[in-house]
A and B are shown apart, each in its own frame.
Chain A
């Protein structure tokens, strides 16, 4: 029997797997892609850590910066754990072979990111996520961790508020499999993919784990906080990491004038750019003064992307940019032990709301979070599994999912689900984007309620059983639509502006809302409320 079942094979999932295995558990990783196809590979800029406490920087500064960026919604205990442990986390990554860029003194090189005064972000040129992910994968192969690739999570098996496994769909055969497990870790990533065609995220980031947890009754929290990255290639939504500004790049308007401190937190920088874009003005990233040598050394990938997708050279040209949906601060509520509100269900990485980022995430904190809480989740899930001897499961959930898939295959449809996905992406960018107001949010909610109804009735034209991508895409869209309601309800209820959530009808922060929003499904109905930040 499986002790620890991990859903998701990005940085968080692989770290959890390694730690659970190290702790003596039987581990299985289920992934809807292949591990190295995960979103983690897209993280370019770096991973934060205080490597040496000096006059320039120390753990307390790091804690303060992270808490400040969270706009008082971060959990101070969890932030303290993340920051004080950051050196250990980095040293662990370094010890398993992550090739971090080095400085002249044989130490791990660090650069400055927004929202901080210190050089605190460690990196591997601008391939940081890629190199961390691949090194973790290599270690998983070494440790003979078992993978079920291209298996899609349908639902969690939860009985009496205790998780007992999952139902997954083999994407290559369309067969359903029930997997019993003593404990389950969700590491399935965020939901910025909702902003289809307005996001830096991979096509595979569709919030599946969060939606499944929500259906199973787990508490979701702070779903309205969605981070827009200030600098993505114009109309392409391809990320140009914060490292470009961290290394000294400027943001300039059409006249070549700088208009904002480039190293302010992301929410402020993104809004300033969007405002100009909205007024019909172009905004550019200017890196020309850095010189080719620096650019080649610090951001080879980004230089390549600019050549490939815009046919421009960073060292010679101004790079037109716009903000795109990039990271979702909300997710499954977890505590410092990575526990969710469902017994034996753990969550880590972007799918979790672990009390670190609050209303706004600092660049370089997401990679640190996935590794730190991946370790925590792996160890704790493994410990919990050791206390369980027996696991009895009914087939109720399996039958429910079996019926659901059969119905999708049987139903005919005239509705184009790909068109709906596109419509939702645009609707969210316009109405639930960098600037929000009640009437637009309500308009979006009305649309979503209508689509929810429509999409429940549709099937797929393609009836093949072997690798039916349409089936997966429809299920993914249903998951995204499932998450739209919590996002919108929380965004409507939060009648203030805080971090990434900016309301033009409530432009200031309000003490009344210095709380985490919560959404959960109870008896088929969504309950949403605010709770105190612990």
Chain B
């Protein structure tokens, strides 16, 4: 089998796609390990648990975000690092933005509400709290091309996880933090939802956060953005007829 890997090495001034001939492995991670052992031990990539739970091995396969440990390799697959952050070496990218985005989005329990929690209450935040912070959604998000301050899908999903947590008594504090560069800046293209290995739906989470924002007295800025994009109103497609950003590819 052939695997193509995007290599980057600032020290050796290498930025190229390299082909390697490997056997038919079960997973992409196994293929990367084979390349490392057989051809070039310097190939750099992160990996940890091998079971899709630590989130360290996210990368792009033919342009789509995947976890290397859980994804099968197909002939001629192109493996690249995730997007929207600096590549350090080969498939390793800088992840220092993670804690900053979470901090800005106020994604933690602010103040405990002494209350009883039912099975249903806990179920309400179950999916969102399954997030492994693998950065797949972050990489797939087209907004960063126009706004590098965008809080992004995983931070917003995590914000909803705390806003929906019955234990949280200061929900508005979190909602307040996600108004600027947050819920209203998303174009609802759904790329994040498509790539989440944990089957989380950040797009719907963001729509929920918009609704909760309005319910809590924050300004509905969706119309404002639509007008800016040349629409008189109606539905949000993310389509920009002036030739700018177009996440849906039409």
Contacts and interface: CB of A to CB of B under 8 A. Distances in A.
A315 B47 CA distance: 30
Given A102-B119, A104-B119, A42 B53 contact: yes
A301 B46 CA distance: 22
Contacts of B52: 304-305, 308
A469 B70 CA distance: 22
A121 to B, nearest CB: 16
Contact of B109 (A39, A138, A465): A138
B42 A464 contact: yes
A202 B54 contact: yes
Contacts of A131: 129
B121 A102 contact: yes
A156 to B, nearest CB: 24
A357 B72 CA distance: 39
Given A100-B122, A141-B108, A466 B9 contact: yes
A259 interface: no
Interface in B108-166: 108-110, 112, 116-119, 121-122, 125-126, 129-133, 158, 162, 165
A102 B9 contact: no
B51 interface: yes
A141 B54 contact: no
Interface stretch (A91-99, A378-386, A482-490): A91-99
Of the listed residues B37, B49, B52, B121, the one surrounded by the most CB atoms of chain A closer than 10 A to its CB is B49
A309 B112 CA distance: 40
A36 B54 contact: yes
A516 interface: no
Contact of A97 (B92, B108, B132): B108
Contacts of A238: 50-51
A203 B88 contact: no
B56 interface: yes
B129 A464 contact: no
A363 B26 CA distance: 31
Interface in B13-59: 26, 36-37, 41-42, 44-56
Contacts of A465: 11
B41 A202 contact: no
Given A41-B132, A141-B103, A202-B54, A308 B108 contact: no
Interface string B83-100: 000001100100110110
B44 A37 contact: no
Contacts of B46: 37
B107 interface: yes
B42 A37 contact: no
A462 B42 contact: yes
B10 interface: yes
Contacts of B44: 467-469
Nearest to A138: B108
Interface size class of chain A, counting residues whose CB lies under 8 Å from the partner chain: 35 or more
**Most chain A CB inside 10 Å of its own CB: which residue of B26, B51, B98, B130:** B51
Contacts, number: 137
A325 interface: no
A125 B168 CA distance: 21
A149 interface: yes
A378 to B, nearest CB: 18
Contact of B11 (A42, A95, A305, A466): A466
Nearest to B36: A418
A184 interface: no
A464 B42 CA distance: 8
B171 interface: no
Given A100-B122, A418-B37, A301 B53 contact: yes
A33 interface: yes
Contact of A308 (B56, B70, B129): B70
A51 to B, nearest CB: 14
Nearest to B40: A462
A204 B48 CA distance: 6
B126 to A, nearest CB: 7
Contact of A462 (B41, B119, B129): B41
Nearest to B92: A467
A142 B108 contact: yes
A85 interface: no
B215 interface: no
B53 A41 contact: yes
A21 interface: no
Contact of A141 (B12, B53, B99, B165): B99
Contacts of B10: 466
Given A102-B117, A149-B95, A301-B53, A461 B108 contact: no
Contacts of B165: 97, 99
Nearest to A104: B119
B118 A106 contact: yes
A41 B112 CA distance: 24
A467 B88 contact: yes
B107 A33 contact: no
B95 A34 contact: yes
9 contacts: A96-B112, A102-B122, A130-B130, A138-B109, A149-B96, A238-B50, A239-B51, A309-B26, A461-B41
Closest 5 pairs (CB-CB, A-B): A97-B109, A462-B42, A138-B108, A142-B108, A467-B89
Given A464-B12, A470-B42, 16 more contacts: A37-B56, A41-B53, A96-B112, A97-B167, A102-B121, A102-B122, A106-B117, A130-B130, A138-B102, A139-B108, A139-B109, A142-B103, A172-B88, A202-B50, A464-B42, A464-B89
